[in-house]
């Protein structure tokens, strides 16, 4: 069968190359019922191919070839039976797209990949913010954990010996060294 121009159900123009295997099972019918059995079978195959594939979307043409081959074979075999011809196999060899259509499909696929990546990034941001919120709540419930985190940060910063670092020291850590009572303490200053 010569390559056929087909417009799919989703309006995508394609060129379809197919092969049909048939044999004459009743020579008398093949001569009497039809003028040229080979040409008639070829013409019927072309129109059937365009008709059947035109009812399907491009994705189906590409992914369901076996089913389409079978459907076309059944239709052809039913019509050629009266001519003494048995269609034994139909094979869609190739479905070609126009170059412009290939580029358009590639752009669409890229846009879909970017959309999915954005969704995944957004979900990751949501999970990270939830974890930060949990950490903040834990720190608020246990003030000692803030001091531990502060000391841990100092250790990390002190690991880089090439830089001079000035950091604030909480005054409540220095109060015992200065001899001042801590706020909220019942200790009274010594009487003079």
For 47-99, write each residue's pLDDT tens digit. Answer: 999 999 999 998 899 899 999 999 999 999 999 999 999 999 999 999 988 88
**Residue closest to 72 by CA, chosen among 56, 48, 88:** 48
pLDDT at 190: 55
CB 167 within 8 A of CB 157: yes
**Residue closest to 91 by CA, chosen among 45, 160, 40:** 45
Q: How far apart are CA 60 and CA 106, in angstroms?
A: 18
For 146-164, write each residue's pLDDT tens digit. Answer: 777 777 877 777 776 776 7
**Residue closest to 6 by CA, chosen among 51, 42, 63:** 51
Q: Is the pLDDT of residue 191 over 90?
A: no
| Class in CATH terms, 4-97 | alpha beta
- Residue 101 pLDDT grade (very low, low, confident, very high; cuts 50, 70, 90): confident
């Amino acid at each position: 069968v010569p390559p056929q121009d087909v417009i799919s159900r989703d309006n995508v123009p394609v060129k379809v190359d197919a092969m049909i295997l048939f044999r004459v099972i009743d020579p008398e019918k093949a001569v009497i019922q039809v003028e040229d059995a080979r040409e008639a079978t070829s013409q019927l195959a072309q129109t059937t191919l365009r008709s059947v594939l035109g009812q399907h979307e491009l994705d189906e043409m590409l992914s369901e070839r076996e089913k389409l081959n079978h459907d076309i074979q059944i239709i052809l075999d039913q019509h050629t039976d009266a001519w003494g011809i048995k269609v034994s196999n139909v094979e869609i060899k190739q479905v070609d797209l126009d170059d412009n259509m290939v580029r358009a499909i590639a752009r669409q696929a890229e846009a879909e990949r970017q959309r999915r990546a954005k969704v995944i990034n957004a979900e990751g941001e949501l999970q990270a913010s939830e974890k930060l919120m949990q950490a903040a709540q834990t720190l608020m419930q246990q003030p000692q954990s803030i001091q531990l985190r502060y000391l841990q940060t100092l250790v990390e910063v002190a690991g880089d010996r090439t830089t001079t670092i000035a950091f604030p020291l909480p005054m409540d850590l220095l109060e015992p060294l200065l001899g001042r009572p801590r706020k909220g303490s019942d200790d009274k200053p010594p009487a003079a």
